[in-house]
Structure 1
C-alpha cells in the first residue's frame, strides 16, 4: 500500500495538471483491472481524465449497488512533488496530497481487494469513481457523478478524517459572489475632492459583510481576492472582491443572498455603485433519516474494530454534496486519518489508519450488502459479522 501511495504522491497532480493526473489514472486503471474491475476513462478536458471502475457482484439487478468516490487532484503547484517527495517518519507519512486524498484512493483499492480475497460478492455492483477536478468544485466531473449516483443505492466518499472515530453525515453548501464597486477617478493630489473612491466604499461593505456573522449564526462569509486600480496618484474608480458563503441549509444560503443584496444596494461613499453577482455552488448535504440509517450501520461495524464512531457536520464541501443532490444517501470522511491539508510541507497521513479505516470501509460495504434490498431508512438489523 505504501509503495503505491508513494508512487502517486510523487506525481504532481494539482488541479489542471493533466499530465500528472493522466499518469495516476493509468496506474489506477492497471491496479483495478488486476482486481477484475472493468475500467473506463472519461474525458475531463482541461482537468484530465476521470476514472470509473465497475465490479459486478453475484446479485446483479437485485443486490446493493455502491458508489465509492475519491479524487486524485491536489492544490499544489508543479514541482511540489520534487520539492517535498513522499517520506515516512515513524507512524506519519508526508507529501503533497498524501491525505487529501491519495491515501483514501489507495485505501479504497485495498478494501475492495479484502472483500474479493474473502470471496465476498453478495452485492449488485461496486462502482469506484476517481476524478481530477474536485479541488476546483468538480466542474467537469459533476455530470458524471450525478449520472452514476442515480444508478447507485449507497454513496461512500473517501475524504480523510482527523480521528479514527469520526465520519461525516452533513456538510455546508457553498455559494460564490463577485462584488464590484464603481466610483469616480480623480487626481489624488490636485483634485481629490472630485473623486469617489471605490476602495473606501468596498472597505465599508467588507466590514458590513463581516458583521453578518452575528446576524446569521452558522453562516460563514469569507472575503478574498481583493482588487482595484493600481495607480497611486489616482482615486480608484474600481474595486472588487470575491465572497465565499457557506451554510448548513439552503434557507441559510438564501438569507445570506438577501443580506448581501441589501449591503450592495446601500452606499457609504456618495456617487459609488455596487454590482453583486452570485454563482450558485454545491447545495448543503444534510443528515437525512436515510443518512442516519447508514451511520447506525457504520457505528455497529466500528464497534467490532474497537471504535466509538461519531458522525459530524462539517463546513467544508466535497463530492458528497453532489451525490446527495441526486437523492443518494451518502456517508463521507470514510478515508484514513491525517491533517494539515493544503499545507505543502506539513500535510500528513497517520499510516496505521490505512488498515483500520480500510477495514471499516470493507466491513461497512459487507454489512450493507447483506441487508434487505431497501435498508437505507428502514428498520433492518445489520447482519452479524
Structure 2
C-alpha cells in the first residue's frame, strides 16, 4: 500500500479545544454588535477589538479609514520561511440597525444563532485562533501571514477591493474564511456578477381624461422584465435576477419613467458577455410604441475559476482532511466573495475554509454548528502549515 502523507491538522485539535471557551466569548462579543454594511460605529467597534486581539498575538496591525463603511484592518506577522499567505474575512453583515436586539447571540443544543454568526464572524474569530495555534506550536516556516478583515464584502467590497488588489503582488496564496455547509466541502470556483440598471422612458398623460395619449413606461418595463427572465432558458447556468422596481407614482398619470436593477451571474466572462448582448437586443426594441429604453452595465466581481494552482490548494486541503477521516470535495458556487477579487488579481485562492452552518442572510435562521469550529480551525491551521512547506517554497512536507 502507498504510504499515507503526513498530516498536521490533528496536532492542532487539542489546542483549538482548549480555546473553545474564549472563542465563544469573543464570538458573542462580535455578534452582538450591529455591523451591517455602512454601520460605521459598529464596524469601528469590531475592528477595535480585532486590533487588540491581533496585537496581543504579535501582529503589526493597521486600520485603514473609509468614510462610507468604516475602517478596514490589515495585520501582518513575519515568519522564517518564504511563502506569503493572505487570510481574508469580513465583519459586515446584511442586517439593518437593531438586528442584535431582535436576534441577540444565543446557543441552543450546540447551535449558535445571531446576526452574522455564520456570515462570517465565526470565520473571523477562528482565524485568530489559527494564528495562535501556529504560534503556540512554534511553527514559523511561513514568509508572512497577512490578515485582512474588511468592512463591505456584503455590498461588493467597493472600498476594500482596491486594498486587496494592492496586496495581491505581496502574497503567494489566498485563503478565504467564508463558511461551508458541510465540513468536507471547500470552494474552488464562484460565479462572476454584473449589475445593470434598465430604465424606460415613455410619455405621460392624464390616466382618466386622455390615457390614449400616454405611453406607459411601466408596461414596457414589464414586457422587458419577462423577456429577460426568459433568457434563463437560453443561457443554462446564468442567472438573471430583477430587483428594486420604481416608476412615476401618481395614480392619475400614465407613468413616463420606470426602472429596475438586474443582477446577472455566470461562471465565465464569456457567458456574462453573451448575456449582456442578449439583454441589449431586448432593450433595443419595444412593445409599447414611443418608449425608449437604456441599459447601463456595471462590471462586478469577475468569475473565480478552478485553475491548476487552485486545485493544488484543494489537494492539500484534502490531505489535511484525512486527519479527521474526511474526504474533502471542492465545488463551484453561485454566490460571490472576496476570493473573486483575489483570483482576478492573480492570487490563487481557496474559499469556504470557515466553520459550518447555514441560513445566511436570514436573521431568523442564520446558525453556526459550534462543534465544527475546532475541527475546521485545525484544518485551516494544518493547511497553512502544509502550504508553507509546499512547492510554493520548493520544500515538500517531511514524512
Q: TM-score, normalised by structure 1?
A: 0.96
Provide the secondary structure at the position in 2 that maps to 1:32: helix
Whether the 8 Å CA contact 1:367–1:383 is kept in 2: the answer is no
Distance 1:269 1:382, change over 3 A: farther
The residue number in structure 2 matching 1:25 is: 47
Q: In 1, distance between residues paired with 2:259 and 2:51?
A: 44
Whether the 8 Å CA contact 1:283–1:322 is kept in 2: the answer is yes
Deviations 1:174-204 (A, max 9, x none): 0000000001111112211111111111111
Q: In 2, distance between residues paired with 1:276 and 1:269?
A: 17
Q: In 1, distance between residues paired with 2:321 and 2:138?
A: 22
Q: In 2, distance between residues paired with 1:91 and 1:208?
A: 47
The aligned runs of 1:229-308 (5 Å cut-off) are 229-308=248-327
The residue number in structure 1 matching 2:148 is: 129
Q: In 1, distance between residues paired with 2:392 and 2:250?
A: 67
Whether the 8 Å CA contact 2:389–2:396 is kept in 1: the answer is no
Distance 1:381 1:119, change over 3 A: closer
The aligned runs of 1:151-230 (5 Å cut-off) are 151-230=170-249
Q: In 2, distance between residues paired with 1:21 and 1:307?
A: 36
Whether the 8 Å CA contact 2:184–2:328 is kept in 1: the answer is yes
Provide the secondary structure at the position in 2 that maps to 1:251: helix
Could you tell me which runs of 5 or more consecutive residues in structure 1 were left unpaired when the two chains were aligned.
none
Residue 33 (structure 2) pairs with residue 14 (structure 1): no
Provide the secondary structure at the position in 2 that maps to 1:349: strand
Q: In 1, distance between residues paired with 2:273 and 2:346?
A: 21
Q: In 2, distance between residues paired with 1:179 and 1:296?
A: 43
The residue number in structure 1 matching 2:74 is: 52
Q: CA deviation at 1:374?
A: 5.0
Whether the 8 Å CA contact 1:181–1:275 is kept in 2: the answer is yes
Q: In 1, distance between residues paired with 2:392 and 2:267?
A: 31
Q: In 2, distance between residues paired with 1:149 and 1:90?
A: 41
Q: CA deviation at 1:383?
A: 4.3
Provide the secondary structure at the position in 2 that maps to 1:160: coil
Q: In 2, distance between residues paired with 1:44 and 1:298?
A: 35
Q: In 1, distance between residues paired with 2:226 and 2:189?
A: 30
Q: In 2, distance between residues paired with 1:332 and 1:371?
A: 19
Whether the 8 Å CA contact 1:371–1:383 is kept in 2: the answer is no
Q: In 1, distance between residues paired with 2:35 and 2:169?
A: 29
Whether the 8 Å CA contact 1:282–1:317 is kept in 2: the answer is yes
Q: In 2, distance between residues paired with 1:100 and 1:170?
A: 18
Q: In 2, distance between residues paired with 1:139 and 1:152?
A: 21
The residue number in structure 1 matching 2:161 is: 142
Q: In 1, distance between residues paired with 2:169 and 2:398?
A: 26
The residue number in structure 1 matching 2:11 is: none
Q: In 1, distance between residues paired with 2:374 and 2:333?
A: 24
Whether the 8 Å CA contact 1:196–1:269 is kept in 2: the answer is yes
Q: CA deviation at 1:271?
A: 0.8
Aligned-pair RMSD on alpha carbons? 1.1
Residue 328 (structure 2) pairs with residue 309 (structure 1): yes
The residue number in structure 2 matching 1:115 is: 134
The residue number in structure 1 matching 2:19 is: none
> Of 363, 375, 378, which aligns to 2:382?
363
Q: In 2, distance between residues paired with 1:298 and 1:209?
A: 40
Could you tell me which runs of 5 or more consecutive residues in structure 2 were left unpaired when the two chains were aligned.
1-22
> Of 31, 34, 37, which aligns to 2:59?
37
